[in-house]
Amino acid sequence: MLKEPFHKYTRFHPISLKDRTWPDRIFEGPPIWCSVDLRDGNQALAVPMNVGQKLELFQALVGCGFKEIEIGFPAASNTEYAFNRHLIEESRIPEDVTVQVLVQAREDLIERTVQSLKGAKKAIIHLYNSISPAQRRVVFGMEKPEIVKLAVQGTRWIKERLSVLSGTEVTLQYSPESFSSAEVEFAREVCEAVMLEWQPTPANKVILNLPATVEINMPNIYADQIEWFCRNLKNREAAVISVHTHNDRGCGVAATELALLAGADRVEGTLFGNGERTGNLDIVTVALNLYMHGISPGLDFGNLNALVKLYERCTGMGVPPRHPYAGELVFTAFSGSHQDAIKKGLAEWEKKERRLWDVPYLPIDPQDLGREYREVIRVNSQSGKGGVAFLLESEYGIELPKEMQREFGPLANEEVDRLGREVNGAELRDIFYREYVNRSGPWKLEHFQAEGRNGQFQCRARVLRVGETLELTGKANGPIAAFVAALINAGIPPFEVASYKEHALGFGAQASAIAYIQLRIGQQSLWGAGVNTNIELASIQAIISALNRAA
C-alpha cells in the first residue's frame, strides 16, 4: 500500500446542501420493494441459474410478498428470453405482481425485450445507460449532449413499440447508471429529458432509478445526492424515485436507509445481498431493520431458515454464519455474561412481564423469523454457567438451582475446554449425569424404606461403603432427615442438608423425578443429584451422590 495514497486517489467532493432535511426524518412505512435476484443477482453467479432454478426462486420471492420482480435481461441470452416466455405463457405471474426486464439503450435489444413481454399483464421496462465522467470518457467516448441523446433515443424506441404490448400495462424505468459517481446536475438533466420524451403523469408515473453502481462515498453523501435530486427534479410528482445501492464500501444498507429518509420511494436489492463484487443491497436486512422498530415491511420472512436453504440451493452461494438476521450464529451466544442476560430476558418475556420486546443481545425475537430459542445459546470453553444451565433446561428439563449452577458451570467448562470444541445439549447432559447421577462409589444405596406417623419418620436402609454392607436406621421429621440421622448414627462424620429442590422430568405416570441436594460437611459444601420414578428415592440417591463427590 502507498504511504501517501493521495498521489493516486482522490476523495469524493460532497455536493452543497446546507439545508438538508433527511437527518431529522423518521421512517413511517416501508418503501416499494423490487427484487433483482433473477437478473442482477444472477449475472453475478459463476454458474447462472437455469430456468428451473429461476422459477423456484421467483415463486419464493412471490411468497415473500414482492410485488415487483426483475426477472431478467431477455435480450442477453436464450435462457433469459425463455424464462420470460415460460412465466407468461404458463400464467406463472400473479395478478398483483409486476415483472421487470432490463435493457440497454440499443434498438435491437429493445426490440427483443418487447417481444419477450407479449402477453404479460403488467411490466416495467428498465432502460439504462451510464452517465458518469469515467464511463463517458472510457466506455462511450461521448460528451454530455450525446449521452442525453442516447437516453432519449432509447426511450423513444420503447414508445414506438408499445403497440406490440397493447394488452400490457407498461411502466418505464430509467436508470442513469453510475448516478452516485456523476454530477447531480447532469443526472437531473438526463432524467428530465427522458421524462419529457415519455410524458409521465402523477397517475402514470415513470420510475427513476438512481444507482450507486459502485459505492464510492459515504452514505450521507449519497443521501445528500438523493435529496438534492428529489428537490430539484421538474415534475417530481410524476416520478417514483428508486435507489439501487452496491456494497463496495460495506455501507449498502446504510446508504439505502439514508436515501429513503432523503426522499426515495422505492428500493432495489437482492436476498442476502448477492451481486457483483461485494454485492447488492440486502433487502432482507433493510426490511427486518424496519420490522424491529415496529414497522411492517410488507415482506414476510417468517421462515428465514427455509429461505436461506432455497437461496443457497438455487444460487450456489452461501449465507455467512454472521450475516445479519439470516446467519446461523446471529441468534447464538458463546459469552457467559451474554448467555446469562439472554436467559433472564427470555424468562421475563415468557412470563408476559413486558408488552414490548426488550431481551438483551436479541434485537428481534428469533421466533418471528422461524428460529427457535434453543438456537440462542450454545456452549464452548468461553461459555458460563448461564449457557450451560439454559441448554440443560431447554432441551432436557433439568432445572439446576442457582447455587448448583455455580458449582457445575466450571466443571462443565473444564471438560469442554479439554475437548477443545463446542458441545451440544446431549453432551452436557452426559457430563452432568457422569458427575452427579451415575456415580457408583464409594457409597451405593441398595435399599431404602421410610414410614411416617404423627409427624415422625423412621427409615431403614442398606448401603454399601467400599464393599462393606451397612444396615442403617434413623428417626426424624422427614424421610431425608431420617436418612441423614441414620448415617450419622452409623458413625459417619456429621453433616447437614443445606439446600433441597426437586421437580418432575417429563409428564405422565412413568415420568422420572430429579432431586438436587446440597450437603454441608464441615467447611465444604457439595451438591448431589438423583433421578428416579419415586421422588423420595431420588432424594436419597442425591444424598449418596453428594457423599460420593465429597469422597
Rounded to 10 degrees, the C-alpha dihedral 432/437/441/445 comes to 170
Total domains in the chain come to: 3
Same domain for 165 and 236: yes
Q: Is 361 left (phi over 0), alpha (psi -120 to 50) or beta?
A: left
Please enumerate in sequence order all residues whose Cβ is within 8 A of that of 163, keeping only pairs 6 or more positions apart, or say none: none
Same domain for 171 and 63: yes
Q: Which of 335-339, 440-444, 457-461, 507-511 has the highest mean pLDDT?
A: 457-461
Same domain for 290 and 274: yes
Nearest to 102 by CA among 164, 204, 51, 175: 175
CA distance 447 to 460: 8
Instruction: Assign 166 to helix, strand or coil.
Output: coil
The answer to whether residue 390 is domain-embedded is: yes
Nearest to 70 by CA among 41, 46, 96: 41
Q: What is the pLDDT of residues 157-168, one digit of tens each?
A: 999 999 999 999
Give the domain-ending residue among 372, 406, 435: 435
The answer to whether residue 143 is domain-embedded is: yes
Average pLDDT over residues 40-68: 95
Q: What does pLDDT average to over the chain?
A: 93
> Domain of 507?
443-550
**Could you tell me the three cell numbers for 495?**
453433616
Same domain for 408 and 343: yes
Q: What is the pLDDT of residues 223-252, one digit of tens each?
A: 999 999 999 999 999 999 999 999 999 999
Same domain for 192 and 163: yes
Q: What is the pLDDT of residues 282-307, one digit of tens each?
A: 999 999 999 999 999 999 999 999 99
Instruction: Assign 354 to helix, strand or coil.
Output: coil
Read off the pTM. Answer: 0.79
**Could you tell me the three cell numbers for 64?**
415473500
The answer to whether residue 26 is domain-embedded is: no
Same domain for 506 and 413: no
The residue written with cell numbers 395478478 in the block is 95
The answer to whether residue 23 is domain-embedded is: no
CATH code of 525's domain? 3.30.160.270
Residues in the chain: 551
Same domain for 142 and 272: yes
The answer to whether residue 208 is domain-embedded is: yes
Same domain for 340 and 309: no
The answer to whether residue 1 is domain-embedded is: no
The answer to whether residue 119 is domain-embedded is: yes
Give the domain-ending residue among 265, 283, 315: 315
Same domain for 218 and 297: yes
The answer to whether residue 325 is domain-embedded is: no
Confidence (pLDDT) at 353: 81
Same domain for 500 and 417: no
Same domain for 360 and 457: no
Nearest to 199 by CA among 175, 224, 234: 234
CATH code of 270's domain? 3.20.20.70
Give the domain-ending residue among 435, 467, 493: 435
Confidence (pLDDT) at 417: 87
* HEC profile of 503-520: EEECCCCCCEEEEEEEEE
CA distance 122 to 97: 7
Instruction: Assign 70 to helix, strand or coil.
Output: strand
Same domain for 226 and 198: yes
CA distance 415 to 405: 15
- Residue 52: pLDDT band (50, 70, 90) is very high
Average pLDDT over residues 130-144: 94
